[in-house]
Amino acid sequence: MTGKTLLILNPIAGKGVGKRHLLDIVTRLSDGGCDVTVLPTKKGTETVERIAAMLAKDSTYQMVVACGGDGTLNTAVEGMARGGRMLPLGYIPLGSTNDFASSLGLSSDVPTAVERILKGTPVPHDLGTFNGRRFTYVACCGAFADTSYNTSQAMKNLLGHTAYVINAIPSLTSLRPLNLTITADGETIEGKYVFCGIGNTTVMAGTVKLGADTVDFNDGMFELLLIRFPHDLIEAGRIATKLLSGSIDDPAISIRKVHCCRILSAESVAWSLDGEEGGKSKNSAISVEKSALYILK
């Protein structure tokens, strides 16, 4: 796809690889017929607000390209949504782990990624909303949920996915129950859990993996994954071993498809949205917007 393009670049993602490849990316997009405007990301909500303002002010933009990790992708999507223009989205995954890109089978090789954007077509994907805020692939709380945004950028750059596993170990040794009441498509579930995730991905929180045959990215439904709070240390060890080996085949782990759900908790719970801090909430409303996002493939 070609035309006027807003390129959202995270200059520090993946050991700063995006910044080093910026000229190459812009050149390849320009040579392919794109008129490129580059917007580097900043901490906080400033980048989201600038994307929204730029798209609302200039109706000639035809696509947005996110260059960085999953957090950069989230920033691009939220900016488009707030600007009222959900344009076709290209993704150059240059983060440390790129969970969502791996789920979609997107290459992190810059020439390959740019070529895919130029020659690709917009493919519909479902989009999640969490208390009014968008997320592209996962909203989660409990053990592992804060692993991504509490793992330092330096550690991510040095160790990649291993950094998440190392940083997740304290979560396994200091488990606290989440007392949750979940209403999902009219059914109410109550219990004590160590993890709750709602996603459209084969990887949740950097460590919990789902089979590729489990996830349909455009069926109007997300996967609700619940891990029951362990009865004792033996069960906790068994669950941890299963998760870190990439398995969810355990009686303490349940998964189901949902259109929408409301999650009530006895105390304020910290949530992660696409690996970024999502704030605390006692009353969380999550829904799926079918085909709300179009990713260039």
Say which range, 33-37, 249-253, 254-258, has the weakest mean pLDDT. 249-253
Question: Residue type for 85, please?
Answer: R
Same domain, 191 and 155: yes
Question: Which phi and psi (to 5°) does residue 167 adopt?
Answer: -75, -20
Q: What is the domain count for the chain?
A: 2
Query: The domain containing residue 222 runs over which residues?
Result: 133-290
For the chain, give the mean pLDDT.
85
Residue with tokens 């320009």, as numbered in its chain: 30
Pair 94, 157 in one domain: no
Residue 297: inside a domain, yes or no?
Answer: no
Same domain, 25 and 151: no
Are residues 149 and 89 part of one domain?
Answer: no
pLDDT at 164: 45
Backbone dihedral angles phi then psi of residue 239, each to the nearest 5 degrees: -60, -45
What does the block give as tokens for 60?
């000639």
Instruction: Say which CATH number the domain at 153 has.
Output: 2.60.200.40
Question: Does residue 164 share a domain with residue 277?
Answer: yes
Same domain (yes/no): 46, 171: no
Segment (H or E) for 170: helix 161-173
Is residue 135's pLDDT more than 50? yes
Q: Which residue is associated with the tokens 């291993």? A: 162
State pLDDT tens for residues 216-229.
Answer: 999 999 999 998 88
Model confidence band, residue 155 (pLDDT cutoffs 50, 70, 90): very low
69-73, 93-97, 117-121, range with greatest mean pLDDT? 117-121
pLDDT digit string (tens) for 197-215? 999 988 776 667 777 778 8
Mean pLDDT along residues 138-152? 64
Closest CA to 209 of 284, 130, 136, 144: 144
Kindly state the helix (H) or strand (E) to which residue 222 belongs, with its residue range. strand 222-228
**Does some domain include residue 224?**
yes
| Better pLDDT: 7 or 167 | 7
Give the whole-angstrom CA distance, residue 17 versus residue 180: 41
Residue type, 179: N
Torsions phi, psi for 43 (to 5 deg): -65, 155
Please tell me the pTM assigned to this model: 0.83
Q: Which of these three, 87, 120, 153, is where a domain ends? A: 120
Amino acid letter, residue 144? F
Q: Is residue 128 part of a domain?
A: no
Check whether residue 112 and residue 145 sit in a common domain.
no
- As a whole number, mean pLDDT of residues 48-75 equals 95
Residue with tokens 């789902």: 210
Residues 78 and 204 in one domain: no
- The CATH number of residue 77's host domain is 3.40.50.10330
**Any residues with CB less than 8 A from the CB of 150 and at least 6 apart, and which?**
167
Mean pLDDT in residue range 43-48? 89
Give the confidence band of 237 by pLDDT, cuts at 50, 70, 90: confident
The Cα 251–Cα 244 span in angstroms is 16
Q: Are residues 150 and 229 in the same domain?
A: yes
